[in-house]
Structure 1
Amino acid sequence: MAERDAQLSRLLDLLEESTGGCGRVALVRGVAGSGKTMLLEEFSTRAKGAVTLSASGSLAERELPLGLLNQLLYHAPLPEGGHASVVQLLLEGALTAVWSDPFFRSVEQARLMHGLWTRLLRMAAGTPLLLVIDDVHHADPASLEYLLYFARRLRSAPIMLVLAELDRPQRVHPLLDADLPAQPHCHRIRLGPLSAEGVAGVLAAHAGEGAAGPADACHRLTGGNPLLVRAYAEDCARGGPAPGEAYGRAVTTCLLRGDPVDVAVARGLAVLDGSGQEGLAHRLAGVDAVTAARSAEALAGWGLLDGGVFRTEAGRHAVLSELEPGERSTLHRRAAALLHEQGTSKLAVAEHLVAAGDAGDDWALPVLVQAAEQALQGDEVERALGCLDLAARCEAAEVQRAAIALTRAKAGWRRDPSAVHRHLPVLVEALRAGTLPAGAAHLVVRFLLWHGRFEEASRSLEHLRAATGEGAEWRTAVDWVAAFCPALLPADVAARAGGDGRGDGPRSAEGAERVLHTARLDDATFPAIESALLSMAYAGDAGRAARLCEAAAADAAQRGATTWQAVLTGLHAQIALRQGGMAAAEERARAALALLPAAGWGVGIAGVLAVSVRASVAMGRLDHAADRLRRPVPDDAFQTVFGLRYLAARGHFHLALGSPHTALDDFLACGDAIGSWRADRADRPRWRLGAAEAYLAMGEHKSAKPLLEEEIAGGEPRATGVALRLLASTARLQQRTALLRESLVLLQGGGDRYELARALTDLGRAHEKLGELSRARVIGRQAMGLTAECLAGGEEAAFEPRDAVESPAPSLSDAEHRVASLAAVGYMNREIARKLCITVSTVEQHLTRTYRKLQVNGRSGLSERLGPLAERALRRTPI
């Protein structure tokens, strides 16, 4: 009994006074859970030398006349014959209490009161008498009248009467306040909340010394209510969350012993908690605002409320858990109507409709749909689906059914695109009938394409065009189709849709970054963001695209949008592949595949598998590539760009296996499809390069050359660089180095480090065959280092230029660095002068100063000393 010693001592002192013939009345008051019952029990135990009679008020017996008095006196130790007379008096008193005639009732009641009081005096004649009544606020009115009668007369008798009452702003029995305090022998004892020190003591006693730490938190969450504090300590001792189960049970105990009005208000507040409209609780409780305010004050005294809201979610849950399902549903339904009437947010209203499981009112259905949209905007997918599931059970017009199906599809899409399937029939019909919400048609087309339902997608595009013309919504849908499945578009539409997939260099990259920084990731902006990232990657700024893509994927993950995260992670893998970061590309592709089930990927799984296969082949992991190729891919995928990337990746796999004929079939099939689309974009697979490589592997140089020359004519730097490298293998040895150097220039600007490494490897071998061993060694060393980074390096190595390599010659100027680095990889003075746009004399002067500063003798020493700078030269200087 923490911090109750003073109250206990006061009661014992009053008892001692009463045994001397000076009767005393003690009125003990405290909030629910304050320890009144424990105090009375401890006091009764210590009341030596007195006959103790006790009773406890009960809400269930409040309407039972003399029920409390019967409980107090029924088993009293009376002399022979006395018990029967008391029972008779109690029975007559109960009957008298229900008489309708007030005059006869008062006369008879006075007789009965006197009779019972006389018997109490006889009991106290030999031994002092202690009458202990707990929860007197639940006493029936008749019993209370008898008790007050006794209290007024016991001043000169060896009798002590102790009444424990719930302390609340509005008394249940005002008579206790009106009558007893006026009596000089009546004493009031109040049980207040525990102090912070008292709370710490309870925690230490119940949960051990180690639990004294959360005393401040316990005091804040319980308000110092002893019952709640002990329950909190029990939760701590069990090692579970605090407040937890024991705390919830304690709250339930407080409710059971509290006033019914307080309980009703507590339930109203529990239902409305968090809505910002707790002031409406009185309407849910069925009482006036003043009464509700008093109850809220009482509940705050219990330690349940703070500022009109529950201190803990565990307390709120305990209040609600005591409601029958039907009662809870009714309260939530009424709360929804009240909040709707007040103009509260749709999401707050819908939360109560969902909790009630009822949306029968006419206004409820649109509220649920709008609330679901709000929830999606806040990334609360489960809340959105809860609203939509209830809305789907309601009778709705076609327009409303379409809105429900669309929002359910968008919500499901974020977690798993396969969830969209069941909503597509309604959405397709709504698009055809014109009942689809504005701006949603392109989403329906995307859903259809993702799952390979191309005929429906094509018809949907036609319906949209017929209904809206070639407006913004139609163009948005067409651009997405053009990017990923152009075969569905008429030739004239395909030719003017979606650009060439490359943009116009820096301006395209800047435009893409503007989209990425201004558009928040959501259902409407996701296609634009995806397109912007691709545009940036193919506009020559793949490094920036990779960083932004990674940031967008992290944002999607934090917001629980698994599908967005998976698609962006797959796109990140594709960008890494374009940069030549094979290890990073495979890692990203593997992560993307793990985020969604195969059915959720739809036709897009082919694109992610393509990246994984291509990267695995480059790393020499052919078994892993074969495993990836054994995974099922939808047949419809081969009508999309994802399927063509898969064909190209499989072609490279067959080339690595030494099966160029099989590889050629894949590359040519890829080319046929792209040709039929009449839309050869930079982001399409470079099938001509693969086919040419297959022909070269078969020794058919004549068949390879036209394909390579056609690729070179296209002018895309990276593709041209690769084509020149392959073309060099068909040229005479003297011409080969020139072609490879030209290839290096283009690949350096194209950003593909893997292809750059391959060109360096070929150049080193060409110099070796020419007998230029020093050049061959330097270039070969750089090729090996770059290849190692691409195949096994970390992400940073794959994406970021290694400009921070420590220079072995810090004393050289930038101009001397450039000249010396090119000389180290084998360039002659005239070649260096031409590449750097300086005179031969200037080159010679730079080299002379460099030899002196580095203390080397000629180019051979320069090659050994500046080997690590050669790669730097390839990146920074046109070769």
Structure 2
Amino acid sequence: MSPPHLPCPADASGRLLERSAHLALLEQAVRQVAEGGAATVVVHGRPGTGRTAVLAEAASLARGAGLHVVTPPARRAGPRRLRDIASHLSAQTAYGPAGTPLAVLVDDAEDVIRQEHDAGCAGQRPLLRVTAGTDPAVLGADGPPAYELALRPLSADAVRVLLVEAYGEEAGGPLVPAATAATGGSPAVLCAALRWWPAPAPGPDEFAALADQVGRRHVRHTLARVSGRTVALVEASAVADGDLPFDRVCELAEILPPWRERARAELAGTGLLDQVGHPRLYDPLVADRVLGLMDDGRRHDLYERAVRLGRGDGVPAPVLGRLVAHSRTAEPRAPAALYAAGVHARRSGDEADAVVFLEQALDRGASGELRAKVLLALSTARLSLRPEAADRGFRRVLTETSGPDGSAVRLLAADLLLLRGGGSSVAAALDSAAARRKTSAAERRTLLGLRELALERGPAEASAAPDHGDGASRPALDAAEAAAAAWRHCLAGREIGRARRLAIAALEPAEAGLFAPRLVAARVLAVTEDVSLARVGLRRIEAEARRRAVGPAIGQALLGLAELALRTDDPDEAGARLAEALAEVPRTHWHPRSLPRLAAMEALVALGDGRPDLAESALVGALPDRHEHGVGESQLLFAGGLLGLHTGRAAEAASHLRECGRILLALGCPNPAVVPWRSHLAMALASVDPSAAARLAAESLAEARAWSAPGTVGSVHLWTGLTLTGLPALGHLQSAMRVLAGSTARRRYVRATVETSAALLDDGRPAEGRRLLDEAVAAGCADGERPVPRVQEVVAMFASLPKLSRAQLSTAQLRVALLAAEGRSNKAIAEKLSVSLRTVELHLTSSYRALGIAGRADLTEMLGHAGSGRR
């Protein structure tokens, strides 16, 4: 059983969806003619958008208004078609009472209208002319004004209405996108498909297959109504796809010059074209169906002739490649054209088409340097489709290409392979490529530099890439070597100035440079606290990666910006950049070696938002086993440790942080600026093993001072102050305030100020503490709406201080202390209370001891006396 040949003009309920404005214009035209005037209605629209349905509705409205309706017979192809239709219309207009208004309805026959028998006009009859698919210009400038009805494909909402009416509400969701895409919004195709497949609803794939079958029949039905010459031109237009001029398309269709202008008019009349100067069918879906209706021989013959015509006209290489891809030509230049088409498709964002073109370039014999370029482009195109296949392709470039001509391609493949994840297997592949006999010295240096970046080792583990330092007599490092040397200094936590210079040198290469070294260099600059340079570098990398459509580089650059935002205490910015990274590169496309770093960032951003539940979700199943040894895994364990501290699970936090430290020390990384595991492990152990906590805090501070980045030193002072108690804690907190005051870590500075305020209160110096707390609150408000941890808690401590302090004093002590807080002398207090001076002194001394303060200056803050001017 086959789907119906003829389109269904209206939906299942007999209504014309999304056509109310058109029907209103039809009614207006009919009234105008019924009242003795004249009107012309031109219905525009692609085949299948309901032109026939609108004509049927016009006939119904005309009959209802008393007009004599004239329509042509069923149309057929052939040279006598127009003459037959004209004769039929002339005969029909002879009927009906004299003066009766006429309604002449013609579908796609502008020649009939142009030569129209004029019987209606000659008889002075009011005339309504309704024609579909006709340019109003053919009706003549002297004719009545034309109403133009432009029919468009159905929207997704209208498609949903029809699906719900046919299958019920359950079809209003998953079936709508498939039905809209498969039918192109054509009411004819959609309605025929619905009538062919009654309830229950098919699945999306089944409906798409059915719609394609119905769509092919609809295209066949449309082409059956035109001449063979027009069919040939439609087929040639589907092949040319707007890339060849009209004369060349006519040559492809074998239409001789004398007939071409007539063919142009006929082609325009089909409604299938989007443009005529360089003919293109209006919808790729329709073009595919036209091509599918042709037999293989005819289709391949057209494409091969199009290749010859295009090459003769010098069409762009990507266009030639598209034509070659659909032909069977085996000419030597075919692989180059296919490569050009693949590169163009990638730049246009069509990775799937790019893969098709590039695979064909390999199949058709791409060799030498071209083969290397094809393999690289193919692997890059696969990154967003099949990442594992892309990795295998990059390895093929390294192993299957040789010679100096392929050096640039090999380095790009090595760079992209490293971007995907690194690790020992990638390092081995780069080592092998560097050892090949025909590899140049410059290429070997770069490959060995990339190898060191893949291993993520500190100085104890680094082997091949030399650090030539800054001496003018030594050879300059290339970007990969410089980045590897900078990363080693960064991990070791020594020579921050040299690490900074090396990182800046690695960032210098501009367009088309390798991504991985620059990303590592920006990461080093973040650790050296050169925030502006790191941010600019990452933004430039992101912009270039977008231009070159390298997804992993975009994702890594955005992840680097998120980490930089956390380092500068901007959790909102970190969350935004992290969300952008995941939008650019879906989680399933991140390499397993990159996932720990990504999950760690998700957890840290969630903790910054005060959402430990989300942090827990990010870490579930992500914490590594003991066989992983990378900085990313250490970051993940560190995030797990922070979550444990945040939720009061100190033992769990200590376990994660110990393992984090084990991995980092194995990598040769004691630098707390990379991951501050010692400081946080000390906090986790503070209540159960104070001596171990103090030792870890001292070690972390020593390493921070060796690196000498102010933000790191200040942060370690802060965490040490939170670990210790008493005067040692206060000393570290005050140091943290002093060092962080000029850093970019504004929220940590506020936190240090708040903690110092609380420590001063504990030390019996509430007035100093209150002053610092006021500064912290002001700085926190200036820093944005997000509250800084502990601010409100310490504010509450100071707010409750007067009530608690007064409760600790006897009535006599409180009376004396309150008068002292007003600023009265001991003698004045004695006179006021009629007691001896010695009694006043004894009461004040007892009050100071009970309140734990040093003297008279702190009484106002402790007692909250109304006359003190306290804020």
User: Could you state the TM-score of these two structures normalised by the residue count of structure 1?
Assistant: 0.57
Is 1:567 the counterpart of 2:562 in the alignment? no
Comparing 565-574 with 249-258, greater Cα deviation is found at 249-258
1:576 alignment partner in structure 2: 565
User: CA shift at 1:603, angstroms?
Assistant: 0.8
Q: Assess, with a 3 A threshold, how the Cα gap between structure 1 residues 782 and 313 changes in structure 2: closer, same or farther.
A: farther
Q: Given the alignment, which residue of 749, 756, 763 partners 1:756?
A: 749
Q: How does 1:330-369 map to 2 (within 5 A)?
A: 330-356=301-327, 358=328, 360-369=330-339
Comparing 233-242 with 745-754, greater Cα deviation is found at 233-242
Greater relative contact order: 1 or 2 (C-alpha under 8 angstroms, separation 6 or more)?
Answer: 1
Aligned partners of 2:558 and 2:386: how far apart in 1? Answer: 15
User: CA shift at 1:350, angstroms?
Assistant: 1.9
Aligned partners of 1:627 and 1:735: how far apart in 2? Answer: 38
Aligned partners of 2:408 and 2:540: how far apart in 1? Answer: 30
AA at the equivalent of 1:413: L
Q: Given the alignment, which residue of 247, 260, 274 partners 2:228?
A: 260
Aligned partners of 1:514 and 1:586: how far apart in 2? Answer: 25
Is 1:704 the counterpart of 2:697 in the alignment? yes
2:710 alignment partner in structure 1: 717
Aligned partners of 2:869 and 2:280: how far apart in 1? Answer: 72
SS where residue 423 of structure 1 aligns? Answer: helix
Q: Given the alignment, which residue of 752, 764, 774 partners 1:771?
A: 764
Task: Specify the structure having the higher radius of gyration (Cα).
Answer: 1
Q: Given the alignment, which residue of 475, 486, 492 partners 1:500?
A: 486
Q: Is the 2:379–2:390 Cα contact (8 Å) retained in structure 1?
A: yes
User: CA shift at 1:405, angstroms?
Assistant: 3.1
Q: Given the alignment, which residue of 370, 374, 377 partners 1:407?
A: 377
2:417 alignment partner in structure 1: 447
Q: How does 1:553-632 map to 2 (within 5 A)?
A: 563-582=552-571, 584-585=573-574, 588-589=577-578, 592=581, 595-598=585-588, 600-617=590-607, 621-632=611-622
Q: Given the alignment, which residue of 630, 634, 637 partners 1:647?
A: 637
Aligned partners of 1:219 and 1:188: how far apart in 2? Answer: 14
Per-residue CA distance 1:420-459 (angstroms, 9 max, x = gap): 2443553342257989563333533542673566235324
User: CA shift at 1:764, angstroms?
Assistant: 0.9
Q: Is the 1:664–1:694 Cα contact (8 Å) retained in structure 2?
A: yes
Aligned partners of 2:520 and 2:342: how far apart in 1? Answer: 27
1:272 alignment partner in structure 2: 240
Aligned partners of 1:289 and 1:525: how far apart in 2? Answer: 54
1:313 alignment partner in structure 2: 282
Q: Assess, with a 3 A threshold, how the Cα gap between structure 1 residues 462 and 567 changes in structure 2: closer, same or farther.
A: same
Aligned partners of 2:223 and 2:385: how far apart in 1? Answer: 41
Q: Is the 1:379–1:559 Cα contact (8 Å) retained in structure 2?
A: no
Q: Assess, with a 3 A threshold, how the Cα gap between structure 1 residues 541 and 433 changes in structure 2: closer, same or farther.
A: closer
SS where residue 628 of structure 2 aligns? Answer: helix
1:426 alignment partner in structure 2: 396
SS where residue 84 of structure 2 aligns? Answer: strand
Q: How does 1:90-489 map to 2 (within 5 A)?
A: 133-134=84-85, 189=116, 233=151, 235=153, 244=186, 255-296=223-264, 298-300=266-268, 308-310=277-279, 313-314=282-283, 317=287, 320=291, 323-324=294-295, 326-356=297-327, 358=328, 360-395=330-365, 397=367, 402-414=372-384, 417-424=387-394, 426-430=396-400, 438-444=408-414, 446-447=416-417, 450-451=420-421, 454-464=424-434, 466=436, 467-471=438-442, 474-475=445-446, 478-479=449-450, 481-482=452-453, 485-486=456-457
User: CA shift at 1:605, angstroms?
Assistant: 0.8
AA at the equivalent of 1:309: H
Per-residue CA distance 1:156-211 (angstroms, 9 max, x = gap): xxxxxxxx999999xxxxxxxxxxxxxxxxx96589xxxxxxxxx989x99xxxxx
Aligned partners of 1:222 and 1:384: how far apart in 2? Answer: 47
Aligned partners of 1:552 and 1:449: how far apart in 2? Answer: 13
Aligned partners of 1:255 and 1:55: how far apart in 2? Answer: 15
Aligned partners of 1:54 and 1:614: how far apart in 2? Answer: 75
Aligned partners of 2:147 and 2:449: how far apart in 1? Answer: 65
Q: How does 1:674-713 map to 2 (within 5 A)?
A: 674-678=664-668, 684-694=674-684, 696=686, 698-700=689-691, 701-713=694-706
SS where residue 373 of structure 1 aligns? Answer: helix
Q: Is the 1:695–1:704 Cα contact (8 Å) retained in structure 2?
A: no
AA at the equivalent of 2:755: D
1:872 alignment partner in structure 2: none
Aligned partners of 2:622 and 2:661: how far apart in 1? Answer: 23
User: CA shift at 1:412, angstroms?
Assistant: 1.8
User: CA shift at 1:743, angstroms?
Assistant: 1.9
Q: Assess, with a 3 A threshold, how the Cα gap between structure 1 residues 165 and 773 changes in structure 2: closer, same or farther.
A: closer
Comparing 606-615 with 548-557, greater Cα deviation is found at 548-557
Q: Is the 2:503–2:524 Cα contact (8 Å) retained in structure 1?
A: no
Q: Assess, with a 3 A threshold, how the Cα gap between structure 1 residues 651 and 264 changes in structure 2: closer, same or farther.
A: same
User: CA shift at 1:567, angstroms?
Assistant: 3.0
Aligned partners of 1:688 and 1:135: how far apart in 2? Answer: 95
Q: Assess, with a 3 A threshold, how the Cα gap between structure 1 residues 253 and 669 changes in structure 2: closer, same or farther.
A: closer
- Structure 2 residue runs of 5 or longer lacking an equivalent are 1-24, 34-45, 64-71, 88-105, 119-127, 160-179, 190-214, 469-480, 491-495, 790-860
Per-residue CA distance 1:602-641 (angstroms, 9 max, x = gap): 2111111122333444565444433333224666993332
